């Protein structure tokens, strides 16, 4: 009987080893900014420290505030997509935000006058304090994911005058989904 039991376990383990295991690879990776830096038109040479509260605003065609966002993207396959899936902390005026790529990753010490150059407009979002933002314009919010560790920089702009949008960087606002 002992030999039969051992033989049965051996046969079953051989059969089980041929079964395909489920693919436990995550289908997508959500990346929040690893750095966010406010830059202010009224303080063009002031370097504000990295922040957890992003802001994009403008009042009467003046007093513009933008946020530089930096993402550390691991190697991914497929496409990467920007979204704003959470409610904004505050959203007044038209509550619209544009997202631009920059030519470099932002760094502590960046100012209005010394920041990475803006590269391309990727899109615009209609934010709200009650739910996810809606994409208004999409010029490149989805792109091929990098295949190596990559640092990407972005900058937010208000769309209209008398706009103000703030959000919590570690838990909300702009995220990058890869894969």
CATH number at residue 142: 2.60.120
pLDDT of residue 4: 52
95 inside domain: yes
pLDDT of residue 8: 45
pLDDT of residue 29: 92
For the chain, list residues with pLDDT below 50.
1, 3, 5-9, 11-26
45 inside domain: yes
- Torsion angle of C-alpha atoms 123, 178, 33, 127, degrees rounded to 10: 40
pLDDT of residue 14: 46
Could you give the number of structural domains in the chain?
Answer: 1
| Contact call for residues 58 and 98 (beta carbons, < 8 A) | no
pLDDT of residue 161: 86
Q: Measured between alpha carbons, how far is residue 112 from residues 44, 48, 117, 164 in Å? A: 5, 10, 10, 18
Q: How far apart are alpha carbons 73 and 170 in whole angstroms?
A: 15
Helices marked H in 18-163: none
How many Cα atoms occupy the beta-carbon half-sphere of 133 within 13 Å? 29
pLDDT of residue 28: 83
- Torsion angle of C-alpha atoms 114, 119, 124, 127, degrees rounded to 10: -30
Q: Measured between alpha carbons, how far is residue 121 from residues 53, 74, 77, 109, 141 in Å? A: 22, 23, 23, 24, 9
User: What DSSP character marks residue 36?
Assistant: E
Q: How far apart are alpha carbons 122 and 141 in whole angstroms?
A: 5
Q: How far apart are alpha carbons 81 and 143 in whole angstroms?
A: 7
Range of the domain at 88: 30-178
168 inside domain: yes
3 inside domain: no
């Amino acid at each position: 009987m002992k030999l039969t039991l051992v033989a049965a376990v051996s046969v079953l383990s051989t059969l089980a080893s041929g079964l395909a295991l489920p693919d436990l690879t995550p289908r997508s990776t959500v990346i929040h900014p690893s750095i966010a830096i406010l830059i202010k038109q009224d303080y063009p040479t002031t370097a504000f420290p990295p922040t957890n509260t992003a802001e994009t605003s403008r009042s009467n065609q003046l007093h513009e505030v933008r946020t530089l966002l930096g993402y550390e993207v691991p190697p991914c396959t497929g496409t990467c997509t920007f979204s704003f899936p959470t409610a904004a902390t505050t959203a007044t005026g038209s509550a619209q935000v544009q997202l631009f790529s920059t030519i470099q990753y932002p760094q502590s010490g960046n100012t209005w006058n010394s920041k990475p150059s803006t590269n391309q407009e990727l899109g615009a979002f209609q934010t709200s304090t009650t739910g996810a933002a809606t994409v208004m314009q999409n010029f490149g919010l989805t792109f091929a994911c990098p295949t190596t560790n990559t640092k990407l920089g972005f900058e937010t702009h208000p769309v209209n005058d008398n706009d103000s949008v703030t959000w919590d960087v570690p838990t909300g606002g702009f995220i990058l989904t890869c894969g």
